């Protein structure tokens, strides 16, 4: 049998999960249906490892309507008001980059797992929906069912009482 990983966030566990995900996407699993590249949501976070800084670089990515790619979606409890969200005022600066340390711990952890599993994109509601635009919220919330359904993987931070708990 396969060894059991007791520490789910360990490098060994993440590497094992990465091989499973890669095999699934590449069609190596005979028992799984073929996987097609899903359409990306209109906004996702792009996660890139900066080898020079040995850390992740994250920016808001605007996907063209026909852009396809595998992505992760994050399901979590906001709890109290988020300290850092996408707004009309910070939209352009977030397209350039955002500081990971400014983000709530749950989102930082999800970004780390996203990269460790080999994904380039993650969808997070507070950072992909313009929070001070009622029209954008209405439009994007109506698409959330498809966003989660089309994601290759959903990270569910179900034990955290709020976004600061990781």
pLDDT digits (tens, 9 = 90+) for 15-33: 777 777 777 777 666 666 7
Report the pLDDT averaged over residues 117-133. Answer: 95
For the ranges 13-27, 38-52, 84-98, 118-132, the lowest mean pLDDT is seen at 13-27
In a domain, 166, yes or no: no
Q: Please state, in angstroms and rounded to a whole number, the distance separating the CA atoms of residues 54 and 98.
A: 16
pLDDT above 90: percentage of residues in the chain? 45
pLDDT attached to residue 49: 74
Using the structure block, give the residue that is written with the tokens 């949501």.
41
Task: Tell me the pTM.
Answer: 0.84
Whether 27 and 42 map to the same domain: the answer is: no
Same domain, yes or no: 126 and 103: yes
pLDDT of residue 164: 66
DSSP H or E segment with residue 108: helix 105-116
Total structural domains within the chain:
2
Q: Tell me, what's the pLDDT at 15?
A: 75
Please indicate, yes or no, if residue 164 is contained in any of the structural domains: no
Predicted confidence (pLDDT) at residue 44 exceeds the cutoff of 60:
yes
Domain that holds residue 29: 1-35
Dmax over CA atoms of the chain, in Å, equals 53
Please tell me whether residues 68 and 9 are part of one structural domain: no
Residue 80 and residue 151 in one domain: yes
Please tell me the predicted confidence (pLDDT) of residue 1: 58
């Amino acid at each position: 049998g396969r060894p059991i990983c007791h520490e789910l966030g360990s490098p060994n566990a993440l590497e094992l999960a990465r091989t499973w995900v890669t095999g699934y996407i590449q069609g190596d699993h005979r028992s799984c249906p073929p996987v097609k590249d899903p359409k990306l949501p209109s906004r996702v976070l792009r996660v890139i490892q900066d080898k020079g800084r040995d850390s992740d670089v994250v920016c808001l990515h605007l996907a063209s309507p026909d852009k396809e790619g595998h992505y992760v979606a994050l399901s979590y409890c906001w709890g109290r008001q988020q300290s850092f969200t996408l707004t009309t005022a910070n939209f352009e600066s977030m397209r350039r980059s955002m500081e990971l340390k400014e983000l709530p711990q749950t989102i930082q952890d999800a970004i780390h797992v996203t990269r460790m599993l080999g994904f380039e994109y993650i969808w997070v509601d507070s950072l992909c929906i313009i929070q001070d635009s009622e029209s954008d919220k209405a439009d994007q919330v109506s698409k959330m069912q498809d966003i989660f359904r089309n994601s290759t993987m959903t990270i569910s931070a179900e034990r955290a009482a709020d976004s600061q708990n990781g």
